[in-house]
Amino acid sequence: MGFDHDVIKFLVVARSRGASFEKTATLGRHTIFSVTPRSLSRCLSDLGMPTPEATARELLERGEGWSEPLLQYLGASEICSVDGSSYENATLVHDLNQPIPDSLKNRFTVVIDSGTLEHVFNFPVAIKNAMEMLAPGGTFIGVSPINNFMGHGFYQFGPELYYRVFSEENGFAVDVMIVAENFWGSWYRVEDPARVNRRIRLANIYPTNMFVIARRLDSRVPLAKPPQQSDYVTVWGGKELEPAHTRLVDRLLGAFYRDFRVYRIAYRLGMPLYALTSPWMRTSIYRKTSPSELARGCGNPPRPG
């Protein structure tokens, strides 16, 4: 659980897009790792927060590896870390498998999950806790593993899950959804599967994270009705899931992939064949972006669900 360069950039993006860190809650107590004073100074300055290297060094040294001074620098006057154990001296020890007390509901302007929810077995309760902790108008900022993290936690998530959870029906709207490969560096905006009328899939060889910013629209109780996967809802409604020409291309590619020799050659070359033909090249689903573009408000526009 912690902040690296990409997470810090995403926090600044959220701030630039209107997130108020005044009353911040973190799921788990977050560390800062793989960050130097120089790199932190550059990271913040490049995104519109001019920060001398001496200031960056002071933030890191004062925190002794923890994120609270940085969160204060982003605008937090109150910081509450919630964890199931006292091991890391969280502000509040509470098992997120269990519903939160009423005293935490509708209280915070920002809730940050940077690698906690995938470790909580009772995910529906845990994500509902995070949603209920936000006051109307508050912002959920999430960073979760979605590919090639087997063994890291109980779960690997995906865009479909968070688009359905942070939907208008639950009193939320997704502002930004990003997929980024750890060792590749590029950020990609991801469309709502319900919007593009198809599943959003990814096969690749790099550990990959999903970044999400979602706003709480009102104080209705979230997840009163369990979400359904959008492609099933489409089919159940008697509608076509995706264009016929796209289905034909997928069938042809599928026949190609089933040839074991192709797989063997592709992986020996280190080439994620399906990734090359499916997600990154389907620009209607994955569109390349950058932290600076998102901070300028050029990313996904806020919209319900």
CATH of the domain at 8: 3.40.50.150
- For the record, the structure tokens of 44 come out as 């913040």
Query: Containing domain of residue 216, as a range?
Result: 2-233+284-295
The answer to whether residue 160 sits within a structural domain is yes
The answer to whether residue 16 sits within a structural domain is yes
- Are residues 267 and 199 located together in one domain of the fold? no
Q: In this structure, how many other beta carbons lie within 10 angstroms of the beta carbon of residue 222?
A: 21
Cα atoms in the Cβ-side hemisphere of radius 13 Å centred on 87: 7
pLDDT score of 269 more than 80: no
Find out whether 118 and 144 touch, Cβ atoms under 8 Å: yes
The answer to whether residue 300 sits within a structural domain is no
295, 254, 247, 303: which is closest to 274 by C-alpha?
254
pLDDT score of 226 more than 50: yes
Specify the DSSP class assigned to residue 102: G
The answer to whether residue 24 sits within a structural domain is yes
- Are residues 135 and 217 located together in one domain of the fold? yes
What does the pLDDT read at residue 231?
Answer: 86
- Are residues 167 and 267 located together in one domain of the fold? no
- Are residues 266 and 158 located together in one domain of the fold? no
What does the pLDDT read at residue 305?
Answer: 27
Domain tally, the chain: 2
The answer to whether residue 301 sits within a structural domain is no
- Are residues 269 and 224 located together in one domain of the fold? no
Q: Are strands 108-114 and 23-27 parallel, antiparallel or unpaired?
A: parallel
Distances (CA, A) of 273 to 81, 134, 206, 269, 281: 41, 41, 13, 10, 12
- Are residues 164 and 257 located together in one domain of the fold? no
- Are residues 168 and 271 located together in one domain of the fold? no
- Are residues 145 and 273 located together in one domain of the fold? no
- For the record, the structure tokens of 220 come out as 């209705």
The answer to whether residue 265 sits within a structural domain is yes
Kindly report which listed range (160-164, 193-197, 206-210, 280-284) carries the lowest average pLDDT score.
280-284
- For the record, the structure tokens of 260 come out as 């074991």
- Are residues 135 and 264 located together in one domain of the fold? no
Taking the C-alpha atoms of residue 177 and residue 190, their distance in angstroms, rounded to an integer, is 6
Beta bridge partners of 211: 143, 178
94, 7, 75, 73: which is closest to 43 by C-alpha?
7
Task: Assign 300 a pLDDT band (cuts: 50, 70, 90).
Answer: very low
pLDDT score of 97 more than 90: yes
**Crossing angle of helices 244-257/260-268, nearest 10°?**
80
Specify the DSSP class assigned to residue 112: E
Taking the C-alpha atoms of residue 67 and residue 60, their distance in angstroms, rounded to an integer, is 8
The answer to whether residue 208 sits within a structural domain is yes
pLDDT score of 73 more than 70: yes
- Are residues 204 and 158 located together in one domain of the fold? yes
Taking the C-alpha atoms of residue 101 and residue 99, their distance in angstroms, rounded to an integer, is 7
What does the pLDDT read at residue 200?
Answer: 84
Q: For residues 240 and 90, which has the higher predicted lDDT (pLDDT)? A: 90
- Are residues 251 and 151 located together in one domain of the fold? no
Taking the C-alpha atoms of residue 78 and residue 138, their distance in angstroms, rounded to an integer, is 14
Q: In this structure, how many other beta carbons lie within 10 angstroms of the beta carbon of residue 268?
A: 8
Cα 255–chain centre separation? 33
The answer to whether residue 302 sits within a structural domain is no
Q: In this structure, how many other beta carbons lie within 10 angstroms of the beta carbon of residue 294?
A: 26
- Are residues 273 and 290 located together in one domain of the fold? no
Kindly report which listed range (81-90, 176-185, 191-200, 259-268) carries the lowest average pLDDT score.
259-268
